[in-house]
């Protein structure tokens, strides 16, 4: 039974991350810097919403409420996404840096989950590997190219990186169930994921003119996983559920 609670906690934070960041990234649709990039960024936002739906569907099978209800009626303090995902889009440099930092972690997380003892999650992880291959190819290509291009592009990315890193470290905020998840073979845990992530981020950023901060001096911005969010999340949720809440019992 406690395994169940651990799995539910893991699924909620993953699903909420994907829903909120997918929503944020969809705000760029029609506003992107290049037509082709507008299209690519929208596809990845759709993928994220699709991942969140797949995870909420597993949750429903575990006895939680229906995906639409869970996504469109909870309050901010009931969401478990990391704060990084809810921050406003800012300019494209911030959106790209967030996309790179988050999707690197996401791809590694799903990689670890491919062999999860919780089969439904392992199945999702195996299925989305191609989508995540694209997301990381996209993120790495942009970061590597803009990260060496012009003074302006390097300084913009650097500024966004400095802002985003403490929030990105909040992705790995540990849950009360880390030990159970690890020993039951459901998930290798945030600690291991973070180590893999730091390696990968260093590898990509190492190919650019960008500087990573000294990890030891960074204070992760935590709280998202336990429902303590920035002021931006409730505003996002109010907007997202505006039509749904005209009549939550209606079919749209």
Partner 1 sequence: MYGGGNTFEEVKTDSFSQEDPIKLAEFEARIERGEKIEPSDWMPQLYRKQLIRMIEQHGHSEIIGALPEGTWITRAPGFKRKMALMAKVQDEVGHAQLLYSAAETLGKSREQMIDDLITGKSKYSNIFNYPTFTWADCCFISWLVDAGAIVNQLANAKGSYGPYCRALDRICAEESFHLKYGHHCVIYLASGTQKQRDMFQEALNRWWPPMMHFFGPADKISIHTQVLMKWKVKMGTNDDMRNQFLDMYVPKIWELGFTIPDSQLKKNSETGRWEYTEPDWEEFKRVINGDGPCNKERLEVRRIAEERGKWVREAMKAPNQKYVSPLA
Partner 2 sequence: MNSLDPRVIRLPDIGEVGRINPKPALDQFGTYEVFVLPKEGKPFQHEGIVHAPNLEMAYVLAKETFTRRFTCASLYVVNTLDVFVSPLSEGNQNVYDQIPQILNQNSAKVNYEIYHLPKRGKQHVHVGRVSASSPEEAFSIAKEQFQKEKIVYNVWVIQSTAIRYTMNEEKDLWLTLPEKKFRDAAEYKGGEKLKEFLKKSKR
Q: Is 134 in the site for partner 2 (CB under 8 A)?
A: yes
Minimum Å gap between C-beta 129 and partner 1 is 20
Q: Is 174 in the site for partner 1 (CB under 8 A)?
A: no
CB 165 within 8 A of CB 104: no
Handedness of CA 86, 21, 143, 217 (dihedral sign): positive
Q: With CB cut-offs between 5 and 8 Å by kind, which of partner 1, partner 2, none does residue 59 bind?
A: none
Rounded to an integer, what distance in angstroms lies between the CA atom of residue 176 and that of residue 94? 31
C-alpha distances (whole Å) from 227 to each of 115, 128, 176, 245 are: 29, 27, 14, 21
Rounded to an integer, what distance in angstroms lies between the CA atom of residue 209 and that of residue 21? 27
Burial (CB count <10 Å: 0-12, 13-18, 19+), residue 199: exposed
Per-position x/- string for 69-88, each x denoting binding to partner 2 as judged by CB under 8 A, each - no binding: -------------------x
Q: With CB cut-offs between 5 and 8 Å by kind, which of partner 1, partner 2, none does residue 127 bind?
A: partner 2
Q: With CB cut-offs between 5 and 8 Å by kind, which of partner 2, partner 1, none does residue 67 bind?
A: partner 1
Considering the complex, state which of residue 56 and residue 172 has its C-beta at the smaller distance from partner 1.
Answer: 56
Rounded to an integer, what distance in angstroms lies between the CA atom of residue 105 and that of residue 107? 6
| Interface segment toward partner 2; rule CB under 8 A; list 113-121, 132-140, 152-160, 168-176 | 132-140
Q: With CB cut-offs between 5 and 8 Å by kind, which of partner 1, partner 2, none does residue 184 bind?
A: none
Burial (CB count <10 Å: 0-12, 13-18, 19+), residue 122: middle
Minimum Å gap between C-beta 244 and partner 1 is 4
Residues that bind partner 2 (CB under 8 A): 27, 31, 34-37, 39-40, 42-43, 46, 50, 88, 91, 127-131, 133-134, 137-138, 141-142, 145, 239
């Amino acid at each position: 039974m406690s395994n169940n609670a651990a799995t539910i906690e893991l699924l909620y934070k993953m699903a909420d991350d994907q829903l909120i960041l997918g929503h944020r990234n969809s705000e760029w649709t029609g506003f992107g810097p290049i037509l082709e990039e507008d299209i690519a960024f929208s596809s990845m936002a759709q993928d994220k919403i699709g991942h969140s739906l797949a995870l909420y569907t597993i949750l429903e099978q575990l006895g939680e409420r229906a995906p639409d209800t869970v996504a469109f009626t909870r309050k901010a303090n009931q969401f478990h996404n990391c704060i990084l995902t809810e921050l406003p889009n800012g300019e494209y440099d911030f959106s790209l840096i967030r996309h790179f930092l988050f999707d690197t972690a996401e791809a590694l997380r799903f990689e670890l989950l491919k062999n999860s003892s919780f089969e439904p999650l392992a199945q999702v992880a195996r299925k989305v590997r191609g989508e995540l291959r694209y997301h990381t190819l996209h993120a790495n290509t942009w970061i590597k190219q803009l990260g060496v291009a012009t003074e302006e592009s390097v300084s913009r990315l650097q500024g966004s990186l400095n802002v985003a890193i403490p929030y990105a470290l909040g992705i790995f905020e540990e849950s009360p169930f880390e030990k159970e998840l690890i020993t039951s073979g459901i998930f290798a845990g945030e600690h291991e994921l973070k180590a893999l992530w730091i390696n990968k981020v260093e590898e990509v950023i190492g190919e650019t003119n960008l500087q990573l901060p000294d990890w030891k001096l960074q204070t992760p911005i935590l709280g998202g996983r336990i429902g303590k969010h920035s002021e931006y999340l409730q505003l996002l949720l109010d907007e997202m559920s505006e039509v749904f809440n005209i009549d939550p019992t209606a079919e749209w």
